[in-house]
Amino acid sequence: MVFRRLISKQLGELLMERGVINKRQLEKALEIQREKGGLLGHILVALGYASEEAIAQALTVQFGFPYLPLNSYNIEEEIIKIVPENVSRQYCLIPIDKMGDTLTIAMSNPLNQQAIEDIEMLTNCKVQVFVSTMTDVNNSINKYYRK
């Protein structure tokens, strides 16, 4: 699976266009990214410049992944059992549905190709990806794997 941008704009550019951040904030986040590494979206959230939701929604625009807020989503127990808790925590993802041999997951970093390949190998399913915030995914992991 190769991710293809639907639009050629960078994440920071999209966030500026949407009025989420300004040029100075983007430059500061990019400077931190050059020095320390990490994902731009996580840096912008850590700096308090953008919300997780704004980052997730920008990714949906950039790459075409659908956005799914998980706070009101109900996941069935047999779906949760498909992916072990440690794998869900490692990749910050959670299974949300399965139809035939297609497993739908919500994850905070939908560009993590390794995570998707690992889930496909682990489950023998094709993976369909939805974007959610890191907080939503972690809250869901804590809620459903503790049952």
CATH number at 120 reads 3.30.300.160
Two structure tokens written together for 66: 């659908």
Domain shared by 43 and 87, yes or no: no
pLDDT for the residue numbered 111: 85
Taking the C-alpha atoms of residue 22 and residue 8, their distance in angstroms, rounded to an integer, is 19
Structural domain count of the chain: 2
Domain shared by 83 and 131, yes or no: yes
Closest CA to 118 of 127, 109, 128: 127
pLDDT for the residue numbered 7: 59
Identify the weakest region by mean pLDDT among 4-13, 27-36, 120-129.
4-13
pTM score: 0.81
Two structure tokens written together for 143: 């809620």
Q: Does pLDDT of 31 surpass 60?
A: yes
Write down the mean pLDDT value for the chain: 91
pLDDT for the residue numbered 88: 97
Domain shared by 22 and 81, yes or no: no
Domain shared by 35 and 58, yes or no: yes
Q: Which domain holds residue 125?
A: 77-145
Taking the C-alpha atoms of residue 61 and residue 132, their distance in angstroms, rounded to an integer, is 13
* Beta carbons of 73 and 137 less than 8 angstroms apart: no
Domain assignment present for residue 102? The answer is yes
Domain assignment present for residue 67? The answer is no
Identify the weakest region by mean pLDDT among 19-28, 59-68, 126-135.
59-68
Domain assignment present for residue 99? The answer is yes
Q: pLDDT of 70-126, one tens digit each? A: 988 899 999 999 999 999 999 999 999 999 999 999 999 888 999 999 999 999 999
Q: Residue 57, Cβ neighbours under 10 Å: how many?
A: 18
At 58, the amino acid letter reads A
